[in-house]
Structure 1
Amino acid sequence: MAENVFITEETVEGEADGPLAGRTVAVKDNISTEGVRTTCGSAMLEEYVPPYDATVVERLKAAGATIVGKTNMDEFGMGSTTETSHFGPTENPVAPGRVPGGSSGGSAAAVAAGEADLALGTDTGGSIRNPAAFCGVVGIKPTYGLVSRYGLVAYANSLEQIGPLAPTVEAAAELLEVIAGVDERDATTREAEAGGDYASAADGDVEGTTVGVPTELVTGVDEGVREAFEAALDDLRDKGAETVEVSLPSVERAVAAYYVIATSEASSNLARFDGVRYGVSGGYEGNWNEAFARAREEGFGEEVKRRILLGTYALSAGYHDKYYAKAQDARAWVAQDFDAALSEADVLASPTMPVPPFERGESLDDPLQMYLADVNTVPVNLANLPAVSVPAGETDGLPVGIQFVGPAFGEREIIRVGSALA
């Protein structure tokens, strides 16, 4: 058993019949489960028990899945290693002594260790694809709006999506079929043109497919990661795919834009955790502001506080136009670049992560290193596009992932290409 995979182990039986009958699913602990505590990996919500199920959980139950627990995660989804969790770090089951990635590290580790057949994670800037790559499993970040966010404890509303983690692309596609679709409780959802049939696309047929390789997402990656990535591309070419070089010049600004937007939205979203509406109490001494400050001082960890401060600063009077407005302009530029690149190729490919899994403790002393590691994943969230990370071999015995990005609601395309490798 992998270490510290679950925050809460509890079995919730689904319907007797359905497409996921007999399958076990682990659920990330920022997705609401009726009667089962949902902590977001934070002391702030250590005892919080939701009175309702998230839409994706309702759909899991209706599909016959058995939920086996709530998985460990970086606090409020803020981190790339699952080390910022109030409940301690999760061990990478396929690379002992290394992090499992984050923020959905517990979900990826549960699948990699065989403690669940499937898992749900959330992806705000790579938080499904990063741990999928680091744990050697498959993770899909759906197009924004394909999966309902109702019942998800929000980090950054305009960026995040719930998505599947699984041992194979086909299994991930089967889980995506169950959770995707319109939800009247989430106005951002829409029906995809494919009508929700994703598993049938996992046929591995890439004959005649054009795979674009953005030079900016390959430059500067670890040498061993690059070799594994090139070998995966060779495999695709052997199966009939064509590769072409494309360019995404805006990605040099993407990480900066992402962290301004994400932290700004987080500072607004997390204002509700004040010890009155939600969270640990700040006590009754002094005035309300002092109680509010005590609740947040005790309830939030260092990384969450750092991001709230960054976001509050970016939104403050006099700085909104200087930072937040410029970040939104950069976001539009990123989206335009992806549109241009995808006009030359069916899908885009890059290493999911530019480095192999970090050693535990390595990035905690240098948060900037953790932020910059998201360079290949965050642009996809800024552009609201779908992406899948699939295993692409190893470097020095450590897992490497390859990421495929498709056009909006082009899940079938990335599933088809990804299934040629996994």
Structure 2
Amino acid sequence: MGGPRPSLHSIPLLVAAAKSSPNPLHRGEELHCLSVKLGLLSHLHVPNSLIHLYASADALDSARQLFDEMPHRDAVSYNSLLDGYVRSADFPLAEDLLRRSPYRNVVSFSTLFNGYVRSRMFEKGMGLFRAMQRENLEPGGCSIVSLLLVYSHLRLGLYGKSVHGYLVRKWAKIPDHIRSALVDFYGKCGLLDSAARVFEATREKDLVCYSAMIAGLGRRGRGWDALEVFRRMRDQGVTPNYITFVNVLSACSHSGMIEQALRYFEMMSSEFGIKPTFAHYWCLVDLFVRIQSPHDALKVIQCMPLDSESAIWGALIWLARVRGDISVGEYLGRRLIELEPDNSRRYVPLANIYAAAPRWDKYEELQNDMKARGLKKLPDCTLIDMNVVVHKFSVGDGSQPEIEEMYKVLGEVGELLKLRPVEAAENDLAASL
């Protein structure tokens, strides 16, 4: 009945297998109890494997308790728990753990740095990267790509160029995926000559590299050049995906290329079997709005899938706010109201289109329509547009699960508006390391 007794070597293997089981946390707790009974927790690789499982299963209290009970720890112990905190976006605990760790290494820094970047905490990421350099730790490829993403987002061209120079000095060969990240960085910063040099020097150009170059050229109104890169990509036998076509259509939009945009939009499904998404339709809408043809924009809107409602309203509010164009938003808003004319919530998106324009006459007219139907007035609320995805919350509202993240983002925006010098923006963690 008993069978062979698990050893200190088999427990970590069983824990690794438990991670892919239907209930990894339950299996991990069973193996934890077994390890205690067999007296195996004194061997580092046993509790380390359990900490990693708990952290992966978001059972951070269990992971921390086991970590604190260990008489001896190593770099794996610290990094496994650190990874758990970063995964759950508990950055204060992650920062404290890194600060206390006697085994800080490139894995520790990279884990926290990449977490900052994923959470768009760019200033903290830059400060941590400088701290990594002060400890003479050489970043890996993943961290380099993340750092270039930070610099491209903040349009820090000189900083990205310094990373490129660092790679040339330190690395005998720059991997193609990092070259693609450099092309993307230079393109987003408008440094198209530098982007082209890196692009042409990349021997094995993959889909990411081609798409980055197309996007960079299109963003700067060089639509014909972008389409030429697309032609070269096809000639090399590289198959485009839906993101590539978003970049191609966006390039056509920025350059007012109607005929080409419609041809590539049709090619996407007829030749490559790619079903158009909201982003593809929106590139056409943007094109027609740019050439001041709202009637054609409305035709495209009528064909758009409405399964991404939040993204649609975010884009329309952006149009109303930046360009004062309410035609497309008004059409959709009225269509939404027609579905449920007695539902007051159906009126809110159109009201916010009018407010963003601003067209207070239209806003008041909409309120009068609601009163005529016996509906309550529009609720006082705020719309936060994050990457054209709209989040709504009323004053003092705590009902949304994203509310804390919204306040965090607003706090970061407030910090950015202070326009502090980059050198002064390093976080307290970086300064204390």
Could you state the TM-score of these two structures normalised by the residue count of structure 2? 0.20
Is the helix fraction higher in 1 or 2? 2
TM-score, normalised with respect to structure 1: 0.21
Bigger share in strand: 1
Q: Which one scores higher on RCO, CA 8 angstroms, separation ≥ 6?
A: 1
Which structure: larger Rg? Answer: 2
